[in-house]
Structure formats: structure tokens, C-alpha cells
Amino acid sequence: MAALPFSTTCRHSSSPLHHNSKSSFIGFSQRNNIWQLLVITKSISRKSIRKLSVKNVASDEKQELKDPLAKRDTFYEFIPDSASIASSIKFHAEFTTPFSPEKFELNKAFFATAESVRDSLIINWNATNDYYERKNVKLAYYMSMEYLQVLTGFIEAELLGPYAEALTKLGHNLEDVANKEPDAALGNGGLGRLASCFLDSLATLNYPAWGYGLRYKYGLFKQHITRDGQVEVAENWLEMGSPWEILRNDVSYPVKFYGEVIPGPNGSKQWVGGENILAVAYDVPIPGYKTRTTINLRLWSTKVSQEEFDLQAFNSGDHAKAYAVLRNAEKICYVLYPGDESIEGKTLRLKQQYTLCSASLQDIIARFEKRSGKRVNWDTLPDKVVVQMNDTHPTLCIPELIRILIDVKGLSWEKAWNITKRTVAYTNHTILPEALEKWSLTLLQDLLPRHVEIIRMIDEELIHEIISEYGIDDLDVFEQRLKKLRILENIELPSSVMELLSTEETSTVDPVKVIEVEDNDIMATEKEEKKDDDIDDDDDDDEVGEEGQEEDNENLSIEEDTDNKVEVRFKVDPKLPMMVRMANLCVAGGFSVNGVAAIHSKIVKDEVFNEFYELWPEKFQNKTNGVTPRRWIRFCNPDLSKIITKWIGTEDWVTDLEKLAILRKFADNEDLQLEWIEAKRRNKIKVASFLKDKTGYVVNPSAMFDVQVKRIHEYKRQLLNIMGIVYRYKKMKELSAEERREMFVPRVCIFGGKAFATYVQAKRIVKFITDVGATINRDPEIGDLLKVVFVPDYNVSVAEMLIPGSELSQHISTAGMEASGTSNMKFAMNGCILIGTLDGANVEIREEVGEDNFFLFGARAEEIAGLRKERAEGKFVPDPRFEEVKAYVRSGVFGPYNYDELMGSLEGNEGYGRADYFLVGKDFPSYLECQEEVDKAYLDQKRWTKMSILNTAGSYKFSSDRTIHEYARDIWRIEPIELA
């Protein structure tokens, strides 16, 4: 068979993933993804004649009628030589890129090259989906509000050459072209990057799965650093579009807000009126590494149908009114995590979460029905579908699935509730109260009235299960248990529960007196009349004997007190808000709850959800996070990757990270150490060049590169780091030049991360870091001994640059507050040594790399509550060095900005925003002493390099491949399915 041109695209007319030639090329992906995707062409053309099975558009109609999922295969051959690649790029430059035809500049070259790569990628994409449908496999659907998505796969020599050669012929350099791709603004931190690592591993390991998310137009924000600190501007990642995603105009679902609920037959309800929008699908291929499996990430964008446009208002000049409905729908997907200080902001966030849940579940159900054929057995839904909620943002999946099953599909409450409990699973990512979402019942009732009804029913089911398990003999204990377990907070108990409680109270009355009342019809009647009519006059007292009156009054008093006691005990406090606790709903409505690191999962079971754990211990498990080695070593650190491959003797470590452990036996080898040092040096030179371009600061590549890059938050304690730097600077200033050189190891201290726009304290920390840096970096006495650099707009591209060149990485959160952390894994994989507390995955990393190869300091998680209690009692005595630093900051040495509020947060014994809740002062002396140990170790470069090698060797357990295997085995119960 003759080889077809490389740009040939095979289309599946019946596949939901078929290539839409009219698709919008609106943005997605990551700088250099084009390099990564080139490996797909290798899997398509291995040995230059790789054969692919694709659906023939002209397949036998009779066969299609007999078996709608039957496929007849046609085999094509692809030979990605530079000439055919160049032709493909030229074709796309002329016909598909959103640029004018007369020029072939870098942006246009990027789009055309990426389109060329995507042509071949789509074939595997469609084949994978068709194969899953034919086999009717169980699929895992990963639901996340964030994806810091990057397409995986890596450039290899035989592909680099042809693409580089083709672009050279067309007047461009491959690296320059690849660098034109912007980061996708679909996430902010570890939550989103974890989701993307998981998708990479799912595809690479051939697990059947899809991801669902929202397609944010502006993302979180682009961070600028000015004299005033952080400034937020809209992210422009979609400004020119992207070639990776494909708009699916034929895949859209209605999403409703507000309205009212009308009773229907058999317990169903009809949700009518209100605001209606459409969620439209954009699909992004997620290719596996050296496998044909290519799974899908479906992102939802929002709009309204054209009928909603008020043409009459527009023509009459009321343009704002005409566009209002359109803008109201579109803004749902404008910004990741819109500010929620206002009711409008809260409403928008809730709309985002429900849009993700509703559109995704409608899509999942439609796909399940299609695979089921004409007769759908809903009992098999949990056997074919599992929905994994990535944190509490997708919690509304639970009531939404029940709503669809009852109101749309006609199932009973019992069946829908049972199916939902076997379909949905929950990953908890935090113990911070603000991240364990609560929503106002009033807001939910207004926006999603049907869902509030369903949540009330789930809450009632939960309470009855609690009663069934524990009884209600002790109402004090029962009340405390409800405060921990209920989904609804400060909301009246269901009537069915109140009846049980009243009956229970009555049953504790003296049985003799009860019998007397029950046997005396007249007395019972009079008693009821008194209760109903509230009669309490002397005439009635005279009508019964003294003894009878006393007995009657006693019984009456008991019954009245019973009702009153129950109502008083469980009454709603009008001063407190009525809330819905989303994390409790996740635990009650899901079949699995997992933490993301060993210590975090223990805290989840022992503290956060202890009462739930006692009720359902079988639900709880640990799944320590992991990161993809394809992205975080193989691609971002090619120099180190070559060394690893050479000394291990195979490149299989890229998909089997346990092979990194082989490096341990070479850790003392001088040849390996020399190669290791040289690779790190080259990476540091790249970082120094990057910092100069990005910030203007010139740093010495021979200094230690000390890095803390992550979301700016008080619990992550960037404040502890910068205060340690201030102390170091102050001590330097007190010494002569010669003494400074003898006592201090040169350091470049690098920060990066975004503070949420309304998080005032976090923004003060950013301002403080940049002020300290501006002062130190201009100090001629200090010179290259100390530099402080804040890298603006930290994202995946920046991480890929910084991590390979880092030597010390700071993971210094208050113990017990970081669920896992995944950046610590990325740094360790790249031979960077960690300084940190026993928090999150630090605990397990330290165990694997060895205690001597991890710099540990700070209070332990089990000590934190006691330390805060001591602080509240006024027993904390700050270290003199801590007080010295605060006074130095207040002296104005770092500029005119008033840092009283920031320093004040570290003082006092109680009060919001004070009392050093995150224990910076407590851990400060331990931190300084640990940093002295860091300096000593760095002076011995042979020891330091060995530590670096052992960190890489010990990170073998922190691959997302291992994590996904555990999810698939223990939670999702799915099997890998590799295409034939």
C-alpha cells in the first residue's frame, strides 16, 4: 500500500471524537507540548510503517445494522519524513491557522506545526474511544475544577530530526516555534497539576478514563509584580487560540438555575422556569507515552441559544438588555475561582460547580445509554461508570445524579440513592476549614431548589442510619454526633426524626404512670384538652380529686417537657447561618473516601471525619499522590534523563520509576557524581539566564539555588522563609566582608506563586518578599552572597525551568496542614534536596530518600493543637532572634511600606489574623538551626551530590503511575485495556 501524506486525517462519522474540520482553534496546552506530541507520530509509524486500525467511512451498511458497534478496518501507513512533514505544515499554514496568508511568522508556524502533529494524534484518539465502546468497558470519569494540563509524550531523536529539518526548510527553528505556545490557564496549583498527571498516567497505563473540567477564558489571573506588590490582570491564553482542542457543537447539554419544583408521578419532580444555559463541549486529546491509547479531556464552555438574544431590545437601542442574558451565561466560564466576597461572587462560583457536575453527568449518562443499547439496566451503572470527585468542588454530582435518575429516568428514590452511593467516590485534599466547602442553604435553595430537596432527603437518610447504628438513648451524645455528621448545619431536624426523638423521650416516663393515664379514658381526654386548649384555671382543678389532679399534672408536665426538651435541644439558632456541608455530603453519598498522603489520611480518619470513619471504616483509605516522570524528569530535565538512562542501562524507568532505585548502588561513584554535578550546573545556567530575562536580576550560577515555588498561603509559610532570609541578611550586615565570605554559603533564594486576589495577608507576604529582594539585591556590601528573586506569574513552564536547576527546595508548611504536596516529589525526582516539616508527602519522601538526605525541622502534627492552646493561654515565649527580625522589619530597612499588620499577625494570643496561628514563631529557631546544617552540607560537594543522587533514587515511589494503579485496583475496579 502506498504511503499517504503525513497530513491525512481519518474521520469517524459516528464517533463522538471525530475531527471537526470547522472546529475552533481556541486555546489549550503548554509551552513545548508540540515537542512532546511528536512521540505520537512515532507510535503511529514505528519502524516507519506502523499500521493503524481506523474505521472505514464506507463500511458495510448491513453490518452496521446488525451490530451498531461493529467496525471494519482499513489500514493506512504513515511515514513521517521531513518532506511530508513540511508539506503538512504548509497545508495547515495556508488553510487552517487563524493568521493571514502572506506571512509565516513564529506564531503561525507554531499553529501549523501543532495542527500537523494533531492530525496523526486524532487517529489514535478515535480508535481508543471506538475500542472502549465496542468492548463496553467500565470507565473512570475524573471530575476536577482545575487542570494545569500539559499533553504528554516526548520528543525522540528520529522525530526531532524530521520536524527540525522540515521547519528549517520553512525558515524556522523547532525550539523557537515550540516556545510560542502559552500555558493553559485551566488551574492554579497542585490540585490542577495532580489532575493532569493522573490523566497522563491513565493514558500511558492504558486505563479507560475521561477527564471533565471547565474551559476558563481567563483562568485565575496573570500576575504582575510592581512596587505595590502583586497586581492581577486577565490571563490572555486564549487570545490567539490553540490547535489542540476541538469544539463539539453537536455535544451540548442544558443546565438550569433558579425556577421552581413541581411534584410529578412516583416521587419524581419537574424543575421548571428559571434561567437556562447550554454547556458546550471542547475536547482535548491526552496521549499516552509509547502506547496508542489516547484518552479525552472534555472541557465545558457556556452560552445560551440564539433565541435568548433580545433582538427587539437591541433594535430599540437597549443594547445592554439585549446582551445581558448572553453575558450572564458566558461569564460562568470566564474566571477560575471568581472572588466570593459578594453574594454575586458566591453565586457565580456555585454556578460553575453545578455546570461542571450537570453537563458532565448528562454526558456520562448519555454515553452509558448509548453503550447499553435499547434496554438500559440502571442497576449496572456502577459496573460501567465510576465518578471520582477531585476535592469538594464537584460535590453536586451526588444530588445531580439522583435528580437525573429520578426526575428524568423515572427511577425510585431508593434505587437512585443506592446507585449513586455505588458510583461516586471522593478525594479529600485538605483539612483547612475554608477548603471544606460550606454553602448557604438560602443561596442553594434559590439557585438549585430541586437539589436542596434531594440534599434534605440524603441528610434524613444519614440521620436514620446514625440512629440505626448508635440508637438515641443518650440524647447528649446523639446531639454531638449530629453536629459532626449532619450534612445540614443549623437546620431543623426532619419530622421523621423528631417523631422518633419525642417517642424516645416519652418511653423514659415511669411506666406505672403511663399505664394509669392510658387506662383512664376520661383523664386522658381531659389531659389532651388541657394540652390543646392551654386550660389552667381553678374551675378545672376542682373537677378532679387532689390525688388525681397531682397525677394528671405530673403526666402533663412530662409530655410538655418532652416536646419542649427535644425542640430546645435541637433548635435552630437564628443568629447563625444555615449551611450545607459539602464534604459531609461527599462522604455520605460516596462509596470511597481517600486522603492523599499517609499522614493526611490519618488526620482525615482521626480528626476531620473521625465520626464518619467510626460509622463507615470500610470507606476510608489512603492514596498518596504522585507526579508523572514523563513530564517532570524525562521532558523538563533531558540532561539528567540521559545520565539516569546511562547508569541504569535502560530508558524503561520512564514508565517504571522503581528502576530509579538502581541509582542507589552508584551514589558514591565519582564518575556518576561528576556527570551529575555537570548536569546540575548546566541547568543552573539556564535558570540564571531565565531569571535575568524575567526579572532583570543577575545571579551567580555558582551559588546555592534555594527555591520555594507554590501557591502563596499562610499555612505554606513563605513568611517563615523570608524572615529567615532577613535574619541571614541582618547577620551578614553585622560582619566584615571577609567574615561574611567565611561564614555564609552564597545563596540565590527564589520565590514564585500567586496570592488569591482577595487574600490580603498573602498579598502582603508577596509585597514583603519583593521589598526584601529589592533591598538585598541592590546592597553592594552583600553582592553575590545573597540574592532574593520573586518570579512573577509562576506556572508549569516556569516550574519546568526552575526545578531541574534547584538544589534546595522548601516545603515548610505547618505540620498537619498540607494534605500531600506534589512539588516536593518533582524536586526530589530532579535531585533537589528538601528542607521541610513532617507534613504531607514529606513524611514518605523522607522515609524513601533516607533521614540523612532530608533536612527536617519544626513541630510535629500531633503537637500543633497543644501548642496553639499554650499560645492562647499566654505561655509562648518567642525566641530572641524572632523578635529581632520583627523589629528589624519594622525599622523600615526594607522601604516605607507599613508592615505592622503583617508582623502583628505573629503576635498576641488570640484574635482573628493574630496569635501566629501557623506557628511561624514557634518553628523559627528550629528553622534557623536547620538552615545552618544546610550550609555545612553544601560546603561538602561530594556529600551534597550523593544526597542529590539518593533523592532521585528514592523518589521511585512517587510516580503518578503507582497512584493510578492503586486507584484503579482499590477504588475504580477498572482494568488496563491496550488497543490491539
Counting Cβ atoms within 10 Å, is residue 892 exposed (0-12), middle (13-18) or buried (19+)? Answer: exposed
Residue 896 has pLDDT above 80, yes or no: yes
- Residue position matching grid coordinates 533523592: 951
* Catalytic residue status for 108: no
Beta bridge partners of 836: 811, 856
Give the tens place of pLDDT for each residue, 14-35. Answer: 343 433 333 332 333 344 455 4
Q: What's the rounded mean pLDDT across residues 533-538?
A: 38
CATH number given to 137-149+185-491+576-628:
3.40.50.2000
Q: Are 13 and 97 spatial neighbours (Cβ–Cβ below 8 Å)?
A: no
Sign of the torsion formed by the C-alpha atoms of 930, 931, 935 and 940: positive
Residue 143 has pLDDT above 70, yes or no: yes
User: Where do the H-state alpha helices sit in 69-105?
Assistant: 82-95
Identity of the amino acid at 611: E
Percent of the chain at pLDDT > 70 equals 84
Looking at domain 638-958, its CATH class is alpha beta
Predicted pLDDT of residue 562: 54
Give the tens place of pLDDT for each residue, 801-814. Answer: 999 999 999 999 99
| DSSP string for 655-716 | T-GGGGGGGGGGTT-HHHHHHHHHHHHHHHHHHHHHHHHHH-----TTSEEEEEES---GGG
Q: How many C-beta neighbours within 10 Å does residue 499 have?
A: 12
Predicted pLDDT of residue 29: 37
Model confidence at 357, pLDDT cuts 50, 70, 90, reads very high
Quote the CA–CA distance of 71 and 55 in Å, as a whole number. Answer: 6
Residue 816 has pLDDT above 90, yes or no: yes
The helix or strand, by DSSP H or E, that contains position 592, with its residue range, turns out to be strand 592-595
Put the strands of the sheet holding 438-440 in their side by side order. 438-440, 579-581, 488-489
Predicted pLDDT of residue 853: 98
Task: Select which of 71, 619, 710, 767 is catalytic.
Answer: 710
* Catalytic residue status for 180: no
Sign of the torsion formed by the C-alpha atoms of 911, 916, 918 and 919: negative
Q: Is 365 helix (H, G, I), strand (E, B) or coil?
A: helix
Task: Select which of 96, 204, 302, 822 is catalytic.
Answer: 822
Residue 519 has pLDDT above 60, yes or no: no
Q: What's the rounded mean pLDDT across residues 825-837?
A: 98
Give the tens place of pLDDT for each residue, 770-802. Answer: 999 999 999 999 999 999 999 999 999 999 999
Q: Are 846 and 828 spatial neighbours (Cβ–Cβ below 8 Å)?
A: no
Q: Give the chain's mean pLDDT.
A: 86
Residues 6+ apart with CB under 8 A from 885: 723, 726, 727, 730, 924
Give the tens place of pLDDT for each residue, 407-448. Answer: 999 999 999 999 999 999 999 998 887 778 999 999 999 999
Give the tens place of pLDDT for each residue, 101-116. Answer: 888 999 899 889 888 8
Sign of the torsion formed by the C-alpha atoms of 108, 113, 116 and 118: negative
Predicted pLDDT of residue 980: 67
Residue 512 has pLDDT above 90, yes or no: no
Residues 6+ apart with CB under 8 A from 476: none
Q: What's the rounded mean pLDDT across residues 164-181?
A: 87
Q: Is 967 helix (H, G, I), strand (E, B) or coil?
A: helix
Quote the CA–CA distance of 709 and 696 in Å, as a whole number. Answer: 19
Q: How many C-beta neighbours within 10 Å does residue 380 have?
A: 14
Which residue, 928, 680, 932, is CA-closest to 812?
928
Predicted pLDDT of residue 436: 86
Residue with the larger pLDDT of the pair 62 and 204: 204
Q: How many C-beta neighbours within 10 Å does residue 45 have?
A: 22
Quote the CA–CA distance of 480 and 566 in Å, as a whole number. Answer: 14
Quote the CA–CA distance of 602 and 670 in Å, as a whole number. Answer: 42
DSSP 8-state code for residue 633: I
Which residue, 475, 560, 569, 555, is CA-closest to 514?
555
Model confidence at 159, pLDDT cuts 50, 70, 90, reads low
Identity of the amino acid at 556: L
Q: How many C-beta neighbours within 10 Å does residue 695 have?
A: 18
Domains 137-149+185-491+576-628 and 638-958 share a fold: yes
- Please give the backbone phi and psi of residue 229, each rounded to the nearest 5 degrees, phi first: 105, -145
Quote the CA–CA distance of 472 and 478 in Å, as a whole number. Answer: 6
Residues 6+ apart with CB under 8 A from 131: 977, 979, 980
Residues 6+ apart with CB under 8 A from 859: 814, 815, 837, 867, 919, 922, 923, 926
Which residue, 54, 49, 109, is CA-closest to 81?
49
Tallying the residues shown for the chain, one arrives at: 980
- Residue position matching grid coordinates 419537574: 270
Give the tens place of pLDDT for each residue, 369-407. Answer: 999 988 999 999 999 999 999 999 999 999 999 999 999
Predicted pLDDT of residue 431: 85
Quote the CA–CA distance of 343 and 977 in Å, as a whole number. Answer: 47
Q: Are 723 and 190 spatial neighbours (Cβ–Cβ below 8 Å)?
A: no
Own/partner pairs for 66-75, CB < 8 Å, 24+ apart? 68/373, 69/133, 69/134, 70/134, 71/130, 71/134, 75/1, 75/51
Cell digits of residue 797: 513552564
- Residue position matching grid coordinates 479507560: 208
Predicted pLDDT of residue 433: 74
Beta bridge partners of 142: 211, 388
* Catalytic residue status for 19: no
Predicted pLDDT of residue 842: 96
Task: Select which of 716, 717, 868, 886 is catalytic.
Answer: 716
Q: How many C-beta neighbours within 10 Å does residue 802 have?
A: 27
The pairing of beta strand 260-263 with beta strand 246-257: unpaired
Q: Please state which of the ranges 274-278, 400-404, 498-502, 842-846 shows the lowest mean pLDDT.
A: 498-502
Give the tens place of pLDDT for each residue, 467-480. Answer: 999 999 899 999 99
Q: What's the rounded mean pLDDT across residues 127-147?
A: 95
Predicted pLDDT of residue 91: 92
* Catalytic residue status for 581: no
Model confidence at 341, pLDDT cuts 50, 70, 90, reads confident
Predicted pLDDT of residue 10: 35
Identity of the amino acid at 411: L
- The full set of domain ranges for the chain reads 80-135+160-183, 137-149+185-491+576-628, 638-958
Sign of the torsion formed by the C-alpha atoms of 302, 307, 313 and 314: positive
* Catalytic residue status for 12: no
Q: Are 138 and 973 spatial neighbours (Cβ–Cβ below 8 Å)?
A: yes
Own/partner pairs for 698-703, CB < 8 Å, 24+ apart? 699/748, 699/784, 699/787, 699/789, 700/746, 700/748, 700/784, 700/787, 702/746, 703/745, 703/746, 703/747, 703/748, 703/784, 703/785, 703/787
Quote the CA–CA distance of 709 and 694 in Å, as a whole number. Answer: 15
Counting Cβ atoms within 10 Å, is residue 230 exposed (0-12), middle (13-18) or buried (19+)? Answer: buried
DSSP 8-state code for residue 852: G
Which residue, 227, 8, 241, 209, is CA-closest to 108?
241
Max mean pLDDT among 120-134, 315-329, 867-881 falls in 867-881
Residue 766 has pLDDT above 90, yes or no: yes
Predicted pLDDT of residue 740: 95
Q: Please state which of the ranges 284-298, 822-836, 928-942 shows the lowest mean pLDDT.
A: 284-298
Residue 680 has pLDDT above 50, yes or no: yes
Predicted pLDDT of residue 119: 83
Give the tens place of pLDDT for each residue, 47-102. Answer: 333 343 333 333 333 343 344 333 434 333 445 788 888 999 999 998 888 888 88
The helix or strand, by DSSP H or E, that contains position 287, with its residue range, turns out to be strand 275-287
Predicted pLDDT of residue 265: 81
- 3-state percent breakdown (helix, strand, coil) of the chain, nearest 5: 55, 15, 35
Give the tens place of pLDDT for each residue, 236-255. Answer: 888 888 788 899 999 999 99
* Catalytic residue status for 351: no
Residue with the larger pLDDT of the pair 932 and 525: 932
Cell digits of residue 353: 460547580
Task: Select which of 763, 826, 886, 922 is catalytic.
Answer: 826
Residue 529 has pLDDT above 90, yes or no: no
For 398-414, letters b (16+ CB in 10 Å) and e give bbbbbbbbbbebebebe
- Please give the backbone phi and psi of residue 514, each rounded to the nearest 5 degrees, phi first: -60, -45
Residue 534 has pLDDT above 50, yes or no: no
Predicted pLDDT of residue 347: 97
Residue 921 has pLDDT above 90, yes or no: yes
Q: Give the up-direction half-sphere exposure of residue 779: CA atoms within 13 A in the CB hemisphere.
A: 21
Predicted pLDDT of residue 242: 78
